[in-house]
């Protein structure tokens, strides 16, 4: 079943053939009409209209109306407007021409936000991808970061836990640059470093800074890339009020075909002749899964006078997950105000606040044998015996009749409480003063805070998870994080001959503090207390609390120099000091430089009409990653749970050894890019090649002898090097653009090769993603010359048919005919851990892509977005569990080997260890119809009659179609090891117990007045 | 100009950060300047005792290893992890997961003790005030090294906090003889300074150091000293408040053990834990799968005595009934051990199961009896009597005194429910030195059955070739090699981290 997808790319070629063109022609004398935006039907004021080849022109008024005299029927009108595709229309015999202009994603004059400033897109020297507000709102998103998936080359976005309501989203730019430190990019919202994403509908644009030239201005936090988010601002003119509402229903994309009660009992009887069938027939998937829903309502208003403009919105989001009892609810607000106090002084403020309320169910097996992996409802749904009901004859929740004792998943989902509340608040003030012409000073002061309350309760009715008859257990955890940021910088701009010079110099200080507190108790007199009455518990667990603080102070500067609009030069430097690092290594300098050459502006290119833009870019620079916890370099004490004389007592134990030389990881990145615009930029193509060497990787030093006795036996150390190199393509085409019909295509494709160059002493680092009760130690390995987290295990050679062993193969101890045959790597005749295990798969995809087609026809528009991944392997741990004998199984088990059914790849039914082998490695390639949406803008005449400015309705579907050979539920897997605690950098491609991915159908209304 | 006002205001509130970036951790303790009072010594010593209750150590990994290596407890569930089976079958690779699992934990115990001992130097009070507290750390260090030296022989020996990382990372092994000498010195210190009694048996008193000295001398075959120390404990029975529990069953009842005079040093689990910190698994490991009788949700039938244990144990011995469960309850019906497997879901084992850790363990933190309230007795008074007997028999063969100690243990064993109800096991008299030696070792086997003592007895008396032969309780163990298996392999990973620890133990 593996590797059959190799020739998949051939299937994709038809989808990639999209470049078609269409024009229409006509002519007359005085022409009037209205210009609107094709995407939302809004009238466009100030659109420039000229008669082609003349100086005759006009522009539209506030309502988008225009009137122009034309010399003849052969005249051609050219409609142009910033941010929209220029449209040429032959007049012909018409007197009224209404025009809908299409958005222009590839607009070269577009202003792109970069760190501490902005640049014209055509003047960029670095690798920057943009996602515009339209893409952000094309379909409902839980989190704005999801809009990056498939939209920007080199950016990988994945939910931490499938379709779980409120699950965090992970973003990775240009591969994994770290093992021990974070691999997530820096998020900067309206200049606030380290913010949370605002609501998608509040975002004007997102820029993804990828190469060192773009990110080095963020120094020791730039190595994983930077996402710059700019929220919407008001503009002069009348008040605009907008209401967006959408509602969607969701269900699981897929279910496993499990044995029913009779099949299950028959199967178990072959393993244990004494098995007695239970009297129920329960489809646990049916019980646990339901139709979920989301609703999202946003109300915003914006506007401005000559001197002051504002934008404010409030948003309500609610999701009922597809697993019973899982929900997420969020209320948020955002307000931006900007004021011109004088000609020279601008003041402004951004405010953001949100409350998220997540009621979860436990997923991602905690896998501790302590719980038998028994509190993960997703994997239990598959494991649990179908011949048991929810309650036994005594009215107690049933416990599995095979395998480890575990409570049934329905009881865990519905009776346990798992609640997380998150409050976020952020305020950012700025003042911008023009000291002299060309020289301005900007100062910002920001404050953000996050409060998280987590509560967990396991009632006494959950016999196994809560402990036999202990009266339930409850835990609360609080976290408070506060972030203060002050930034001050000067910007100087002047023209020098044919050149344009921009200088930036600044100082920044940021302080981040985190306080945590937790407490717990067991043995309550009533299950009704939940976690809200810890004091009544008979057994009090030791409360914990902690405080940590990180400071960063920096100086930074940048020079941009453009000569004759042909040669572009950028140099940046940032000096960062971070408290997280050791005494001897507090400061470092991160420089970068880049050049750009606008070849198309050279004399010799002027004759070539087809090429409208040609630019070569090259950059090199150093960025850092300081994403490790504070105090990592200090010698400390830790403590352990110490019961003495029936109670716990305070204690200390040596925690870690000091490392006075611990410092950040440094990435040395080269980027070479080419931007090509053809046929008046109807086709625009960007190509980027990059190479990133990340050195001084922070690795837990497991080479330190354990007899030293530290609580953390592997202290952090700067050893190791990782390399990422790749190639990215962004292609935007305007295939058809005329009065009634437009068709644009955005395509991106990227490939990233990731390789460990150096690891500590060249030694393999083995890791284990499997749930603890699997009782195996290794599922993947970090090895020099290999990519991150390649799978580790036996090589499966099919079913042993009895008799002589095929050459080079062997069996596990105790195996007989019908059991698994493995490659005997060391040739010693037996299969033993270590000696006969090897790399059996690589979860890193060869390439990923996204393709969006947008069509508009009159008032209709259609968005089709495919996204896919090719060549990444998946380790199907769910299948390891389900073929193991101590749980329910998929119907594939009915085809297992028997003396009369020998032509099968599935070994005989029996209880066996949960060995990891290539048998469970599958190709995880997929193509997914991420979104299909049809929108309709009500005709303006009709809308205006009811007193509105615009009405849009749309229906859409997400994840409607997935093409994959993967046998599990969904190829976008994200099991992060026991309790979801695994390292996101190195735990890739594991499928087990994560919340299912959902398919959704959505209806949305947008009103403007 | 007026606008400057706003500007300066903002600059004013902005530029307040000019930091030296020094980290000043709050709520995290660093060794520097920590030790000021006797309480600080106690806090540090407590750390060592905390590690003892971790899953890595007595919660499961080391205790289960010791249990499975002996000749009484066999693997029940054959699908249990390989690393356990390897010990049961004497097929232990150098990277065995049990050993690598607890190796670190034992050294963490030692590091915590070293920190307390070194820290005591900083506490500026008289020896009479601080030494009784520091002595707890000495006892913990001796306790930890005593396990290691019996299992591994020559080992890396650390007796001070790590200051020079590089030097400490490249030390060589210390010989077993020197380690024993250090253990004895630590126990002598502890015996000198610990008070006669403590408020609980989970805190070592003088009796604990005294008894352990006897056991250490017995282990190295210094029978004269073993006898002297054991006799010293017996002579101080009332000073130390020691005695034999009237009813053998009470020793394994979590609700009674706290007040018993018999335990000398215990690890006191409290029915609550923090993950695997402070959590024990014996009830789950030794409990009967799918059994309903104790309301624990059944056990896992991992460590189950071989049938010969049941068959050869005299049925008249009350201790047999206390130590083993021959029945279980399935679907509300009492079933004999012959049909355990068929009565449950098919992973049970048709042999009597250990009852010492399931029958009366009190409230548990989580299912299967994990996180119990049990007090695990590291040494109890009955063992001290048997040490005295064994040692005296070696220095004065067949002595009446030695037999007297055995008879005290046997007398209690005849007390069913605290009253004498039978004649078995009968008193012994007039045995030769060799016969008495055998009787005492047998007595230890039954009296201390499943209390993690048997492997150490087999190893110190070199009984392996006999007890692991076809006539042994678990039947023939063909992999057992007396030239290799009395010692465990040092963890291969540790030898790689510090090659100066080579050579590996013989045979591995």
CATH (domain of A32): 2.60.40.1120
Range of A7-21, A98-112, A720-734 with top mean pLDDT: A720-734
Q: Are residues A140 and A220 in the same domain?
A: yes
Which pLDDT tens digit goes with each residue over A606-630? Answer: 888 888 889 999 999 999 887 667 7
Contact: A644, B29; criterion CB under 8 Å: no
Q: Which of A507, A541, A643 sits opposite B268 (nearest CB)?
A: A643
Let me know whether B291 and B431 are in one domain: no
- Asked if residue A197 belongs to a domain, the reply is yes
Residues A220 and A122 reside in one and the same domain = yes
Residue ending a domain, among A218, A236, A254, is A236
Distance from CA of A305 to the nearest CA of B (A): 20
Query: In whole angstroms, what is the distance from residue A604 CA to residue A609 CA?
Result: 12
CB A754 within 8 A of CB A791: no
Which residue's entry shows tokens 């939940």?
A530
Residues B85 and B138 in one domain: yes
Per-residue pLDDT tens over the stretch A555-610 = 999 999 999 889 999 999 999 888 877 777 788 899 999 999 999 888 888 888 88
pLDDT at res. A8: 41
* pLDDT tens-digit readout, A944-1003: 888 888 888 999 998 899 999 999 888 988 887 765 666 778 888 999 888 888 899 999
- List, as ranges, residues 560-579 from A with C-beta within 8 Å of B: 577-579
Residue B82 touches partner A, C-beta closer than 8 Å: yes
The answer to whether the Cβ–Cβ distance between B21 and A911 falls below 8 Å is: no
Domain boundary residue among A79, A101, A123? A101
- State whether A637 and B162 contact (CB < 8 Å): no
Q: Quote the CA–CA distance of A991 and A256 in Å, as a whole number.
A: 13
**Window A:198-217, CB contacts with B under 8 Å:** none
Same domain as B358, residue B424: no
Tokens describing residue B453: 């003592």
* Same domain assignment for residues A123 and A202: yes
Q: B10 — contact with chain A (CB < 8 Å)?
A: yes
Domain assignment present for residue A209? The answer is yes
Residue of B25, B258, B363 with shortest CB distance to A631 = B25
Give tens-digit pLDDT for A150-168: 778 888 887 777 778 877 7
Look at A469 and A91; give whichever has higher pLDDT: A91
Q: What is the CATH number of the domain that holds A211?
A: 2.170.130.10
**In this complex, do B110 and A709 lie within 8 Å of one another by their Cβ atoms?**
yes
Which chain B residue lies closest to A345 (C-alpha atoms)? B3
Taking the CA of residue A711 as centre, how many other CA atoms within 13 Å lie in the half-sphere pointing to its CB? Answer: 21
Q: Strands of A921-923's sheet, edge to edge?
A: A921-923, A873-876, A990-991
What local confidence, expressed as pLDDT, does residue A303 receive?
86
**Chain B, window 328-387: residues with a beta carbon less than 8 angstroms from a chain A beta carbon:** 339, 341-343, 345-347, 363-371
Angstroms from B425 CA to nearest CA on chain A? 34
Show residues of chain B in contact with A435, CB under 8 Å: none
Based on the domain organization, do A33 and A67 belong to the same domain?
yes
Q: Mind telling me how many Å the CA of B385 is from chain A's nearest CA?
A: 25
A431 close contact with B: CB closer than 8 A:
yes
CATH number of the domain where residue B452 is located: 1.25.40.900
Query: Are A644 and B49 an interchain contact pair (Cβ–Cβ within 8 Å)?
Result: yes
Using the 3D structure, point to which of B339, B373, B407 is the last residue of a domain: B373
Q: Last residue of a domain, which of B358, B373, B388?
A: B373
Instruction: Work out how many CB contacts closer than 8 A connect A with B.
Output: 334
Q: Is the pLDDT of residue A927 over 50?
A: yes
Is residue B254 pLDDT above 80, yes or no?
yes
In a domain, A81, yes or no: yes
With CA atoms as reference, report the closest residue to A969 among A843, A879, A885. Answer: A879
pLDDT score recorded for residue A6:
43
Q: Are residues B84 and B180 in the same domain?
A: yes
Mean pLDDT of A310-329: 92
> Which of the residues B14, B35, B301 would you substitute to probe the A interface, choosing the one with the greatest number of A C-beta atoms within 10 Å?
B14
Query: Is the confidence at residue B345, as pLDDT, over 80?
Result: no
B28, B53, B104 ranked by CB distance to A713: nearest: B104
Secondary structure class of A406 (helix, strand, coil): coil
Predicted confidence at residue B11, as pLDDT, reads 55
Structural domain contains residue A784: no
Which among A295, A515, A511, A267 is positioned nearest to A401, based on CA atoms? A267
pLDDT of residue A780: 92
Does residue A133 share a domain with residue A93?
A: no
Cα separations in angstroms, A680 against A129, A608, A610: 21, 11, 7
Do A126 and A221 share a domain, yes or no?
yes
Within 8 A of A345 by CB-CB distance, chain B residues are 3, 6-7
Residue A657: which of B104, B162, B271 has the nearest Cβ?
A: B162
Identify the burial level of A946 via C-beta atoms within 10 angstroms of its C-beta, where 0-12 means exposed, 13-18 middle and 19 or more buried.
exposed
Which of chain A's residues have a Cβ under 8 Å away from the Cβ of B19? Answer: 509, 511, 551, 553, 579
Range of weakest confidence among A112-116, B27-31, B295-299: B27-31
What is the tally of structural domains in chain A?
Answer: 2
What pLDDT shows up at residue A369? 44
Is B404 within the bounds of a domain? yes
Cβ distance of A345 and B165 shorter than 8 Å: no
Domain count along chain B = 3
Q: In terms of domains, do B317 and B448 share one? A: no
Residue A226 within a domain: yes
Highest mean pLDDT among A106-115, A241-250, A361-370, B169-178: B169-178
Classify residue B160 by burial, with Cβ atoms within 10 Å: 0-12, 13-18, 19+. exposed
Least confident segment among A35-44, A970-979, B340-349? A35-44
Q: What is the pLDDT of residue A17?
A: 37
| Contacting A residues, span 748-767, partner chain B, CB-CB under 8 Å | 763
In the numeric block, which tokens belong to residue B184?
């004895």
Peptide bond into B503 cis (omega under 30): yes
Do A197 and A232 belong together in one domain? Answer: yes
Summarize pLDDT for A676-710 with one digit per residue, the tens.
999 888 899 999 999 999 998 888 787 889 999 99
Rank A441-445, A783-787, A833-837, B60-64 by mean pLDDT and report only the highest: B60-64
Output the DSSP codes for B78-117. Answer: TTS-HHHHHHHTT---TT-HHHHHHHHHHHHHHHHHHHHH
**Are B142 and B290 in a shared domain?**
no
Rounded CA separation A523/A472 (Å): 5
Q: How many CB atoms are located within 10 Å of the residue A273 CB?
A: 10
Give residue B45's pLDDT. 95
Tell whether A224 and A116 lie within a shared domain.
yes
d(CA A985, CA A630): 19
Residue at token pair 């204690």: A651
A522–chain B Cβ distance below 8 A for any pair: yes
Among the partner-chain residues B200, B365, B493, the one whose CB lies closest to the CB of A645 is B200
The string of pLDDT tens digits covering residues A446-491 is: 999 999 999 988 888 887 777 655 678 888 999 999 999 999 999 9
Q: Is B133 found in the same domain as B52?
A: yes
The answer to whether A627 and A620 are in contact (CB under 8 A) is: no
- Cα separation, A704 vs A700, in Å, equals 9
Least confident of A257-266, A632-641, A659-668, A894-903: A632-641
Task: Tell whether A687 lies on the interface with B, counting CB pairs under 8 A.
Answer: no
Of A194, A209, A236, the residue at which a domain comes to its end is A236
Average pLDDT (B225-244) is: 97
B232 touches A: beta carbon within 8 Å: no
With respect to residue B223, please indicate whether it lies within any of the assigned structural domains. no
Q: How far is Cα B83 from Cα B99, in angstroms, rounded to an integer?
A: 9
Answer yes or no: is pLDDT of B163 > 80. Answer: yes
- Verify that B344 and B451 share a domain, yes or no: no
Is any Cβ of chain A less than 8 angstroms from the Cβ of B160? no
Q: Which residues, listed in sequence order, are joined to residue B330 by a DSSP beta bridge?
A: B333
pLDDT value at residue A79: 86
Facing residue for A641 by CB, picked from B24, B273, B367: B273
Say what percent of chain A tops pLDDT 70.
Answer: 94
Closest CA to B456 of B149, B83, B61, B144: B149
In a domain, B104, yes or no: yes
- Looking at the fold, whether B71 and B149 belong to one and the same domain comes out as yes
**Which sign, positive or negative, has the C-alpha torsion A206, A210, A212, A218?**
positive
Any domain includes B406: yes
Distance CA B157, CA A467 (A): 40
**Six-digit token string for A77:** 């009108």
- Within a domain: B136: yes
CATH number at residue B90: 1.25.40.390
Residue B115 contacts A, CB cutoff 8 Å: yes
Please give, one letter per residue, the 3-state secondary structure of A607-628. CCCCEEEEEEEEEEEEEEECCC
Q: Which helix (H) or strand (E) holds B50?
A: helix B38-52
pLDDT at B298 over 70: yes
Is B416 found in the same domain as B492? no
- Decide if B453 contacts B292 (C-beta within 8 A): no
- How many angstroms separate the CA atoms of B159 and B118, rounded? 9
Average confidence score pLDDT of chain A: 85
Domain that holds residue A180: 111-236
With a cut of 0.90, is the ipTM above it? yes
Q: Report the relative pairing of strands A921-923 and A838-841 from DSSP bridges.
A: unpaired
Q: Which residue of B has its CA nearest to A546?
A: B27
Peptide bond into B425 cis (omega under 30): yes
Domain co-membership, A173 together with A92 = no
Q: Which residues of A touch B26 (CB under 8 A)?
A: 547, 549
CB contact under 8 A, A443 and B11: yes
Position A25 scores a pLDDT of: 35
- Residue A770 inside a domain? The answer is no
Pick A651 or B233 by higher pLDDT: B233
What residues of chain B lie within 8 A of the CB of A586, using their CB? 21
Alpha-carbon span A876 to A888, nearest angstrom: 16
- A12-40 in b/e form (b: 16+ CB < 10 A) is eeebeeeeeeeeeebbbeebebbbbbbbb
Residues A118 and A184 in one domain: yes
* Distance (Å, whole) CA B396 – CA B499: 46
Mean pLDDT of the region A913-930: 92
On whether residue A232 sits in a domain, the answer given is: yes
Which range in A120-129, A285-294, B375-384 is most confidently predicted, on average pLDDT? Answer: B375-384
Q: Quick one: closest CA in A to B109, which residue?
A: A709
Residue A314, CB half-sphere, CA atoms under 13 Å: how many? 2
- Residues A89, A91, A94, A97, Cα dihedral to 10°: 30
Domain that holds residue B304: 282-373
Interface of A with B in 434-453 (CB under 8 A): 441, 443-445
Could you read off the pLDDT of A842-880 as tens digits, one per residue?
Answer: 999 999 999 999 998 988 989 999 999 999 999 999 999
A81 lies in the same domain as A185: no
**Tens digits of residue pLDDT in A890-899:** 999 999 999 9
Classify residue A188: in a domain, yes or no.
yes
> From the CA atom positions of chain A, what is the Rg in Å?
31
Confidence class for position B24, pLDDT limits 50, 70, 90: low
Q: Is A277 on the interface with B (CB under 8 A)?
A: no
- Considering only CA atoms, which of B190, B180, B181, B182 is closest in space to residue B211? B190
If you ran DSSP here, which 8-state letter would residue B251 be given? Answer: G
Structure-token match 């030794």, residue found: B286
Q: Is the pLDDT of residue B398 over 60?
A: yes
Chain A residue with minimal CA distance to B363?
A470
Smallest CA-to-CA distance from A782 within A774, A794, A790 is with: A790
By residue count, chain A amounts to 1009
For residues A116 and A225, state if they share a domain.
Answer: yes
pLDDT of residue A109: 59
Boundary-marking domain end, from B331, B349, B373: B373
Q: In chain B, what's the furthest Cα-to-Cα distance? A: 114
Q: Is A20 on the interface with B (CB under 8 A)?
A: no
Domain-located, residue B299: yes
Whether B118 and B180 map to the same domain: the answer is yes
Same domain, B105 and B176: yes
């Amino acid at each position: 079943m593996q590797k059959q997808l190799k020739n998949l790319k051939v299937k994709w070629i038809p989808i990639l053939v999209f470049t078609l063109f269409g024009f229409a022609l006509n002519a007359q004398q005085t022409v009037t009409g209205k210009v609107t935006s094709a995407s939302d039907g809004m009238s466009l004021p100030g659109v420039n209209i000229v008669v082609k080849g003349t100086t005759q022109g006009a522009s539209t008024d506030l309502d988008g109306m225009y009137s122009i005299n034309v010399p003849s029927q052969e005249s051609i009108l050219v409609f142009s407007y910033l941010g929209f595709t220029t449209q040429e229309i032959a007049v012909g015999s018409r007197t009224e021409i209404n025009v809908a202009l299409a958005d222009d994603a590839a607009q070269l004059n577009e202003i792109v936000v970069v760190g501490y400033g902005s640049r014209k897109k055509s003047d960029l020297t670095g690798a920057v991808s943009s996602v515009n507000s339209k893409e952000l709102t094309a379909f409902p998103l839980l989190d704005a970061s999801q809009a990056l998936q498939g939209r920007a080359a080199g950016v990988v976005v994945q939910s931490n836990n499938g379709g779980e309501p409120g699950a965090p989203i992970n973003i990775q730019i240009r591969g994994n640059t770290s093992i021990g430190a974070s691999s997530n990019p820096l998020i900067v919202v309206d200049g606030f470093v380290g913010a949370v994403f605002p609501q998608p509908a509040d975002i004007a644009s997102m820029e993804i800074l990828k190469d060192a030239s773009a990110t080095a201005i963020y120094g020791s936090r730039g190595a994983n890339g930077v996402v710059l988010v700019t929220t919407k601002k008001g503009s002069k003119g009348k008040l605009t009020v907008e209401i967006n509402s959408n509602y969607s229903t969701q269900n699981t994309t897929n279910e496993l075909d499990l044995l029913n009660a009779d099949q299950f009992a028959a199967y178990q009887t072959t393993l244990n002749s004494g098995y007695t069938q239970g009297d129920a027939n329960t489809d646990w998937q049916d019980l646990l899964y339901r139709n979920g829903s989301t609703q999202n309502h946003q109300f915003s208003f914006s506007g401005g006078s000559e001197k002051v403009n504002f934008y404010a919105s409030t948003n309500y989001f609610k999701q009922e997950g597809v697993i019973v009892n899982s929900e997420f609810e969020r209320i948020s607000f955002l307000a931006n105000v900007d004021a011109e106090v004088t000609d020279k002084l601008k003041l402004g403020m951004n405010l953001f606040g949100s409350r998220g309320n997540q009621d979860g169910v436990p997923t991602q097996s905690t896998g501790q044998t302590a719980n038998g992996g028994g509190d993960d409802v997703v994997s239990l749904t598959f494991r649990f015996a179908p011949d048991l009901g929810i309650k036994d004859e005594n009215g107690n929740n049933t416990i599995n009749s095979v395998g480890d004792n575990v409570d049934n998943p329905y009881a865990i989902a519905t009776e346990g409480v798992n609640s997380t509340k998150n409050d976020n608040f952020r305020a950012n003030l700025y003042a911008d003063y023009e000291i002299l012409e060309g020289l301005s000073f900007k100062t910002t002061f920001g404050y953000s805070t996050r409060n998280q309350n987590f509560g967990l309760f396991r009632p006494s009715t959950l016999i196994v998870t809560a402990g036999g008859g202990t009266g339930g257990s409850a835990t609360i955890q609080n976290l408070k994080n506060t972030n203060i940021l002050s930034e001050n910088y000067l910007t100087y701009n002047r023209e020098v001959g044919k050149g344009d010079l921009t200088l930036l110099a600044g100082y920044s200080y940021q302080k981040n503090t985190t306080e945590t507190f937790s407490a717990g108790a067991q043995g309550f007199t009533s299950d009704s207390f939940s976690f809200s009455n810890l004091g009544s518990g008979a057994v009090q667990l030791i409360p914990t609390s902690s405080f940590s603080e990180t400071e960063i102070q920096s100086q930074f500067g940048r020079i941009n120099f453009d000569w004759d609009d042909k040669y572009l030069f950028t140099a940046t430097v940032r000096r960062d000091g971070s408290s997280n690092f050791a005494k001897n290594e507090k400061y470092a300098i991160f420089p970068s430089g880049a050049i750009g050459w606008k070849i198309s502006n050279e004399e010799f290119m002027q004759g070539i009409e087809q090429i409208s833009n040609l630019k070569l870019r090259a950059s090199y620079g150093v960025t850092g990653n300081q994403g490790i916890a504070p105090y990592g370099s200090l010698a400390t004490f830790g403590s352990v749970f110490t019961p003495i004389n029936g109670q716990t007592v305070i204690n200390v134990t040596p925690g870690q050894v000091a490392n006075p030389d611990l410092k950040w990881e440094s990435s040395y990145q080269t980027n070479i890019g080419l931007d090509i615009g053809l046929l008046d930029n109807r086709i625009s193509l960007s190509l980027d090649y990059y190479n990133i060497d990340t050195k001084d990787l922070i690795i837990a030093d497991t080479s330190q002898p354990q007899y030293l006795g530290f609580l953390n036996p592997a202290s952090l150390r700067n050893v190791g090097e990782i390399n990422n190199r790749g190639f990215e393509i962004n292609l935007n085409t305007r295939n058809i653009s005329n009065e009634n019909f437009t068709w644009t295509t955005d395509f991106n494709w990227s490939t990233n090769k990731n390789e460990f160059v150096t690891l500590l002493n060249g030694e393999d680092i083995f890791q284990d993603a499997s749930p603890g009760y699997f009782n195996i130690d290794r599922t993947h390995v970090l090895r020099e010359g290999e990519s991150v987290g390649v799978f580790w295990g036996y090589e499966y050679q099919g079913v042993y048919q009895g008799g002589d062993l095929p050459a080079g193969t062997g069996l596990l101890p105790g195996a007989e005919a019908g059991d698994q045959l493995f490659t005997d790597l060391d040739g010693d005749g037996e299969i033993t851990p270590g000696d006969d295990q090897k790399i059996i798969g690589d979860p890193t995809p060869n390439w990923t892509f996204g393709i969006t087609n947008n069509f508009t026809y009159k008032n209709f528009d259609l968005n089709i977005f495919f996204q896919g991944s090719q060549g990444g392997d998946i380790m199907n741990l769910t299948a390891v569990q389900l073929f193991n004998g101590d749980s329910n199984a998929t119907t594939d088990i009915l085809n297992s080997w028997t003396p009369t059914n020998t032509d099968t790849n599935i070994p005989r039914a029996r209880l066996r260890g949960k060995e990891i082998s290539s048998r469970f490695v599958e190709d995880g390639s997929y193509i997914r119809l991420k979104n299909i949406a049809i929108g309709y803008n009500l005709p303006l005449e009709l809308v205006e009659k009811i007193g509105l400015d615009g009405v849009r309705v749309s229906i859409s579907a997400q994840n409607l179609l997935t093409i994959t050979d993967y046998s599990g539920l969904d190829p976008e897997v994200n099991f992060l090891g026991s309790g979801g605690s695994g390292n996101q950098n190195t735990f890739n491609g594991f499928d087990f117990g994560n919340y299912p991915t959902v398919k959704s159908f959505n209806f949305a209304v947008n009103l403007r007045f | 100009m007026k606008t400057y006002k706003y500007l300066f205001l903002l600059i004013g509130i902005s530029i307040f950060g000019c930091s030296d970036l020094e980290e000043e951790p709050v709520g995290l303790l660093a060794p520097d300047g920590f030790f000021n009072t006797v309480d600080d010594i106690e806090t540090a010593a407590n750390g060592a005792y905390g590690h003892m209750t971790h899953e890595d150590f007595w919660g499961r990994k080391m205790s289960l290893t010791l249990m499975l290596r002996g000749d009484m407890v066999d693997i029940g569930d054959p699908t249990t992890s390989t690393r356990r089976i390897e010990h049961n079958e004497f097929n232990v690779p150098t990277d065995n997961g049990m050993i690598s699992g607890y190796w670190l934990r034992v050294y963490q115990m030692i590091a915590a003790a070293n920190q307390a001992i070194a820290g005591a130097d900083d506490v500026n009070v008289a020896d009479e005030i601080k030494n009784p507290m520091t002595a707890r750390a000495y006892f913990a260090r001796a306790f930890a090294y005593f396990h290691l030296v019996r299992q591994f022989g020559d080992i890396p020996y650390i007796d001070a906090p790590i200051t020079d990382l590089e030097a400490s990372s490249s030390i060589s092994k210390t010989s077993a003889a020197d380690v024993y000498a250090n253990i004895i010195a630590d126990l002598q210190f502890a015996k000198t300074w610990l008070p006669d009694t403590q408020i609980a048996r989970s805190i070592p008193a003088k009796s604990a150091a005294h008894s352990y000295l006897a056991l250490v001398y017995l282990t190295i075959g210094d029978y004269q000293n073993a006898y002297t120390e054991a006799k010293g404990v017996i002579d101080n029975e009332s000073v130390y408040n020691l005695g034999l529990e009237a009813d053998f069953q009470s020793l394994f009842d979590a609700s009674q053990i706290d007040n018993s005079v018999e335990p000398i040093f215990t690890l006191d689990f409290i029915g609550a834990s923090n993950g695997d910190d402070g959590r024990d698994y014996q009830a789950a490991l030794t409990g009967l799968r799918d059994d309903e009788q104790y309301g624990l949700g059944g056990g896992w039938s991992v460590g189950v005595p071989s049938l010969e244990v049941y068959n050869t144990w005299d049925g008249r011995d009350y201790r047999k009934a206390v130590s083993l469960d021959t029945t279980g309850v399935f679907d509300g019906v009492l079933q004999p051990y012959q049909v355990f497997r068929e009565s449950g879901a098919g992973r049970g084992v048709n042999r009597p199961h250990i009852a010492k850790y399931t029958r009366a363990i009190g409230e548990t933190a989580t299912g299967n009896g994990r996180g119990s309230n049990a007090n695990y007795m590291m040494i109890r008074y009955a063992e001290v009597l048997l040490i005295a007997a064994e040692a005296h028999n070696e220095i004065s063969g067949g002595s009446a005194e030695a037999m007297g100690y055995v008879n005290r243990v046997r007398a209690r064993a005849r007390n069913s429910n605290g009253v004498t109800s039978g004649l078995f096991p009968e008193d012994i008299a007039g045995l030769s030195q060799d016969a008495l030696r055998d009787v005492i070792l047998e007595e230890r086997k039954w009296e201390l059955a499943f209390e993690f003592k048997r492997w150490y007895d087999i190893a110190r008396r070199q009984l392996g070739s006999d007890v692991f032969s076809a006539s042994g309780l678990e039947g023939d163990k063909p992999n057992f090699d007396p030239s290799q298996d009395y010692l465990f392999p040092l963890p291969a990973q540790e030898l790689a981290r510090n090659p100066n620890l080579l050579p590996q133990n013989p045979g591995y």
